[in-house]
Chains A and B, each alone.
Chain A
Amino acid sequence: MANLKTVSKKSKAQSMGMHTEVLTGRTQQKFFNPDEAENFYYFGTYDVDFNKRTELDVKDMTAPEANKEIDNLMSQGYGTIVIKNPQGKHSLGVGILNKLNLIFEGSLGYFGMGSCDGPIVRINGRVGWSCAENLMAGKVVIEKNAGSCFGAAIRGGDLICKGSVGARTGIDMKGGTIIIGGDAGAFTGFMMQRGRIIILGDVGINLGDSMYDGTIFVGGEIGSYGSDAVDSELTPSDQDWLKRKLKVAEIGENFDVSKMKKIVAGKKLWNYDNLEPTEKKGAI
């Protein structure tokens, strides 16, 4: 490893081998085994037909009623459901562990699409705080703006906001990709552990504060760096990936990714290898 005291800040992370996103510490990552495929299923999931389409007006429904009705429609095989008049209600579309094409004709309140695994969702409006929290897989596209804690703790999937988002976007995220077409607020990527965040616009103060791992790409101005967030070199493979991702996400297809900044964890806060005091005693 290069002497970190003499290298520039930009190349510091690279010198430490930190741009690869490979966790070298304790990991709980498990890989799919086709021989055990029969064990991979969710209780209560349905075989749905994407060509079977219906509409659901939730204007006079509570969130639990609406979510129950979505589940009911999936049980009937509907694979494309259009939700009318969501009118900013909270917790709509939560807990969908199914392949589903879901379209909201309007805005959602807090916790929309939380704890989902698999659906493809398009929200033709705005979303409130904590949209798609804990998303495992699938794709959620928001046509307008989003509130704070956007994509908190997601583990997989693509989460796309074509407008601007609030503070703490991608807080504690453990995988997946978050793409922001506009600006992002303070503490973006706070304590993120894996995954990638792409912001085409400006971002607020304390970007990537206390991030363990993962990568943040920023197209605009950065308010300030958070603790242990450092610049890294934007490689040609990064640029290829960004172009592909932005194209698939239907956002910023013509954006000049070569000028984007890449931010990773400096990993000075890592203490994974430190023994607990009792363990230290035992070692002595």
Chain B
Amino acid sequence: MCGIAGLIHRGKSSNVGSELQGMLQALKHRGEDSTGYALYGDTDGKNFIMRFKVGENVGEGSSSVMEDVSVYDERKKIVDETLAEMGAKVVKEERTLPYSLRYEIDYETKDLLDFSQRIESIPGVEILSMGKSLEVIKDLGNAKMVCDRYSLDKVIGTHAIGHARMATESGVDIKSAHPFWGYPFSDVSVVHNGQLTNYWNNRRVLENKGMRFMSECDSELIAVYIAEKMRHGATLEEGMKESLTGLDGVFTYFVATKDSLGMAKDTMAAKPLVLYESDDLVAMGSEEIAIRSVLPQEIDTYDPFDGEVKVWQI
């Protein structure tokens, strides 16, 4: 059991960091092994923002192997050198935690595949997100712990999706935590609640097409699956609709791009989702109490039906 939440403000920005924290904290009983945020902040859109990690959180409950912290510095140094070789200029650098970094990069490219492959060829390095608006922040612990650790409560933006995870089919670590970046697409992220039963078959097919998987978490498949569809010209909504038959299992998932937010529910409607929709705000979550954290007043909500796909623009 995991919990997912998302919201999109239409025509305005808001404190999405704080809002999503409240929604995910309301769902913490659905799992607090790890929590992740995909925040679409207000930026000037000139530079790429790269969130990446050079190691794992090896704190209490982690299934990761303890490493000497000195390797983090070595990995960071190689990342810096690789970026310089590719002509990517680091405009701003933040190191929130020894293993977690945020770079603003001045880099001209349309296809991030080569860029990502070179960075992630460095052992122990994983790009959590890449985009001009998107920032994926994920770590062990519940929503408030992660929010406090990364100071997310001040992030202003238009939309966000997040995930409270109870680890069932893969480890308690950051690499298996949601959201997943829609590699190699700029500003695409995914969160998922459910289980996919044709994960390995789909993974083999997608890997043969050059797509990459960083974890053995079945949810990562959704991000890669949709990214691969979009790579071949499908719109977000088309890719999501294809996933209803291409992915087997039970699922409710959200996908976000730079300017849109979508949801899809499997054909058996086996996983919960409650949705609130108005002219200026869409909020949704695994349980109504998530929505209540941002809209405490009496509101009209509903459950989307089986096989339903919806996409909203900012």
Q: Are A and B bound to each other?
A: yes
Q: Which residues of B contact A88 (CB under 8 A)?
A: 287-289, 291-292
Q: Are B269 and A164 in contact (CB under 8 A)?
A: no
Q: Does A187 make an interface contact (CB < 8 A)?
A: yes
Max chain A CB contacts within 10 Å: which of B272, B288, B292, B307? B288
**CB of B305 closer than 8 Å to a CB of A:** yes
Instruction: Report whether A147 and B303 are in contact in the complex, using a CB–CB cutoff of 8 Å.
Output: yes
Q: Report if A145-B301 is in contact (Cβ < 8 Å); known contacts: A87-B296, A129-B272, A186-B268.
A: yes
The count of chain A contact residues (Cβ–Cβ below 8 Å) is 29
Q: With A88-B288, A128-B288, A147-B303 as given contacts, are A187 and B272 in contact (CB-CB < 8 Å)?
A: no
A89 at the B interface (CB under 8 A) = yes
A126 touches B305 (CB 8 A): no
How distant is A67 from chain B, measured CB to nearest CB, in Å? 17
Residues in B neighbouring A129, C-beta threshold 8 A? 272
The residue from B269, B288, B289 contacting A126, defined by CB atoms under 8 A apart: B288
Bound form: Cα–Cα A147–B268 in Å: 14
In the assembled complex, B300 has its CB within 8 A of some CB on chain A: yes
A selection of 26 A-B contacts at a CB cut-off of 8 Å is A87-B296, A88-B288, A107-B288, A109-B288, A109-B289, A110-B287, A125-B298, A126-B300, A126-B302, A129-B272, A145-B301, A145-B302, A147-B272, A147-B274, A148-B269, A148-B272, A148-B303, A164-B302, A165-B303, A166-B303, A167-B268, A167-B305, A167-B306, A186-B306, A204-B305, A204-B306
Q: Return the CB mask of B263-275 against A: 1 if under 8 Å, else 0.
A: 0000111101010
Interface of A is mostly: loop
For the residues of B in contact with A, the DSSP-based class is loop
Interface string of A143-179 (1 = CB under 8 A from B): 0111110000000000000011111100000000000
A-side contacts of B269, CB under 8 Å: 148, 166-168, 185-187, 204
Residues in chain B within 8 A of chain A (CB atoms): 267-270, 272, 274, 287-289, 291-292, 296, 298, 300-303, 305-307
- Considering only residues 102-136 of chain A, those with a C-beta below 8 Å from chain B are 106-107, 109-110, 125-126, 128-129
Task: Determine if A56 is an interface residue (Cβ-Cβ < 8 Å).
Answer: no
Chain B residues near A148 (CB-CB < 8 A):
269, 272, 303
Q: Which of B272, B302, B303 has the most CB of A within 10 A?
A: B303
The answer for the CA separation of A186 and B268 in the assembled complex, in Å, is 7
Q: How far is the CB of A258 from chain B (nearest CB, A)?
A: 27
Q: Which 5 A-B pairs have the closest CB atoms?
A: A88-B288, A167-B269, A166-B303, A186-B306, A145-B302
Query: What is the distance, in angstroms, from A134's C-beta to the closest C-beta of chain B?
Result: 19
Nearest residue (CB) in B for A182 is B302
Contacts of B302 in A (CB 8 A): 126, 145, 163-164
